[in-house]
Structure 1
Amino acid sequence: MSKNRPVIELNNKAEDASSKIEVIKELIFGEQIKEYDSEFEKLKKEILSKKKALNELIEEVRTELTKSIDNVSTDLNIRITEVEQNLEGKIDELQSDTVNKETLGQLLIDLGEKIAKE
């Protein structure tokens, strides 16, 4: 090899230049880039694993919340029904205990007539 001959002969083709640059980059940084790629791949797998675990946890919590809401709704409906029945019973009781105004009026008239006769 002569001292005047360049190590890399550059043609006018951009493709050759870029491929030669890639070769130089690979020689200089190749091992580090591979290590970084390996680390990024590990991180990517770990993130995906954690994402999957979080999605499973979210689904589990969603299921539990739905079940709890259904239970509360059922309990509330039962209590509302009990209160309605209790209220209806009290209303019936009050209606049977109270005297009709016409009946009360007639009783007072009868009482007044009895007092007047005596």
Structure 2
Amino acid sequence: MKKDTKAEISENLNGEHKNASSKIDAIKELIFGENIQEYNEEFEALKKDILHKKNELQELISSVESELLQSIDSLSTDINIRVTELENTVNDKLDDLGDKKADRKLLSELFIKLGEKIAE
């Protein structure tokens, strides 16, 4: 008998709980009725708009990211070309200087030999 009583009590409590919440919902509906529906519709519209804007922003971010990566690649290639050109120019100048110094050295040797021949 105790088991049956406990079951009845829990059913009554559950039933009362369900009835109480449905009563509260009914009171809310009476008081706020149309306003809540309007608010829900507005919130849904705002949600859709926000999601749409979010998707647009993500697409824009992706587009800008790909453009930036492409620009960085292009700039990197341009810089590499310019650095290579500068290296070649510097190497050419160093070769010219080396040749000029060799010529001076050769000239000095020739002048020494010429001086020795004159001295004889």
| Shorter-normalised TM range | 0.7 to 0.9
Q: What is the TM-score when the length of structure 2 is the normalising length? A: 0.77
- Map residues 65-84 of structure 1 onto 2, 5 A cutoff: 65-84=68-87
Paired residues in the alignment total 107
Structure 1 residue 79: Cα displacement: 0.6
RMSD over aligned CA atoms reads: 2.1
Deviation by residue 1:3-46 (Cα, 9 ceiling, x = unmatched): xxxxxxxx872332222121111122111100000000000000
Q: Which range is displaced more, 14-23 or 59-68?
A: 14-23
C-alpha distance in 2, partners of 1:106/1:78?
42
Match for residue 92 of structure 1?
95
More helix per residue? 2
Q: Which runs of 4+ in 1 moved over 4 A?
A: 100-105
- Map residues 14-25 of structure 1 onto 2, 5 A cutoff: 14-25=17-28
- Counterparts in 2 of 1:108 and 1:30: CA distance versus 1, 3 Å: same
- Map residues 39-78 of structure 1 onto 2, 5 A cutoff: 39-78=42-81
Structure 1: state its 5+ residue gaps. Answer: 1-10
Q: Which range is displaced more, 25-34 or 69-78?
A: 25-34
Highest relative contact order (Cα 8 Å, sep 6+), 1 or 2? 1
